Structure 1
Amino acid sequence: MGGNRSAHRILLAGKVFGVSKQRTYILLSLVPALVLLLVFTFYPFLQGVVMAFQNYVLFDLTNVKFIGFQNFETAFQDAKFLAALENSAYWVFFSLVLQFLIGLSLALMLRKNFRGRGVYQGFVFYSWALSGFLIGLIWKWMFNSQIGVINDLLMRAGLIDTRIGFLSDPDWAMTSVIIANVWYGIAFFAIMLLAALQSVPADLYEAAEMDGAGGLRKFFNVTFPYILPTVIATTLLRAIWIFNDPSIIYGLTNGGPAGTTHILSSLMLEKIIYGGDYGMAAAIGVIMIIILMLYTVFYLFATRSEKAGDF
């Protein structure tokens, strides 16, 4: 009897030791990743927050000092910042809505089996393989007022009599960069929504047909409710990416003409690259973080009642 108890204790101790050893190994394996996160993410983040409350100009490092909320006050009194804030709202809203609607339409089309479907998929997904800056350069050539293909096509179609400076005209510049961004992001929605559409069970459609449902009714009563979690996740995440990414704007207009296409992220880069004003750039970055935090709260609230999407 005593021998059985001793054996049981030894076995239990071995299990505990084994579990403890395994946990230690897992924790040690996480250390390199945690160190990299601290060095390349958390430390720069904290340093940026500190800079937002400092007079930190690259060309005047002898005058670095704490100035409280002065950078934030200056930002909200600056017409260029306020214009960039407004542009950011237009940039995100119109880019997101058009990308989603066109991407969903293409996903619905590509869900069907037809000859050459793989080729069409390749064309649709092509833009997502390119960098935003490269896409900006491509569309910059296409929008060129002298040799651009868009002006040439519009003139051949008889829609315009004189060439339009899409990127040099303040009335056209913001619309032009949004068009380029829409083309870039369509592929993301097409890929994600196509995957969600292909996961809809066929028996749901059969049941809807037995109830006499037509095409539109099947879409709104079967398809859309089923892919709704994916729709919520992709639209909200894509909005964050659009808000943060200035690469297309820099490739197309560099924020011009006269700052009319600046969004917050491109204005922040301008403060760093051309002015060396890290304090003001950091303040803009903190404002962006606050906006995204509020947006994230909305994201979590909007998705809390939905099941995990098929994405």
Structure 2
Amino acid sequence: MTAIETTDSKTAKFIARRNRLIDAAATLINQHGLKGMTFANVAELVDMNQNSLAYYFKRKEMLAHAAYMETLGRIADKVAEAATRPDPRARLNHYLHLVFAAQRGMRTGEERPMTVLTGMSSLPEPYRAEATELYQSVLRGMRDWFGPATKPEDLAVNTARAHVVLEGVLWLPVWLRFYAIEDFDRVERRMFEVWERGVAPATSALVHMSFARATPPEPRQEVDIDAFLRAATRLINRDGYRGASVDRIAAELRVTKGSFYHHLEGKDDLVLA
């Protein structure tokens, strides 16, 4: 064996073992969240001692970052491939086909797992910034599917469409587990029908979504607990736990803070619910 062949063999072995660790981290993050993924349980899952694991990733945060970046990179590849199709409808259709093919492969073990991205904002810096930048790049690539935006309102509409599609796909694994593989083709067709009529209709003119500022309605004081739950969910998804303050939740519902505390003892109770 030549020196070059030996080096290539070692490199391939290193990459394979590193990928095993990333896949184990993805599996554990998906099952237990970012906090539940530890060096100890990753090492146990791949039958490796923790000292050997540290050879590939010196800290848990580095491994988690690699898992998120791996998933985002695979999403970016699908977005780029879909962009080669001739129009928004075809791009959405092809992207969804790629997504379901990947889900089918993960279900059968033929494709590597992908990491659920909901905990990405909990990464420390600089890892969070790097992952966030890649996520934003994916979003911009998807936004470009819908054509040029010469005016700010067009850009806002295309950005909204991209958010709808990307968020829909990111949440797909949560509910797709209730379906058998044999149902995937039917679910894919139905999901595309929803997108086609909502964000990329078959007609030449894409659906119009107005972002004009309406006159604010009068404040309301009577809301039920479900309204608080919905408002908190929207804000947490958009701005994270810290961004979903009592003031912002109350403002979202156009109620006073007194109304909030009339229904709830505090923010943590609402987040837990």
The verdict on a shared fold, with TM-score over 0.5 as the criterion, is: no
Which protein is richer in helix relative to its size? 1
TM category (shorter chain) comes to under 0.3
TM-score (structure 1 length as normaliser): 0.24
TM-score (structure 2 length as normaliser): 0.26
CA radius of gyration, larger in: 1
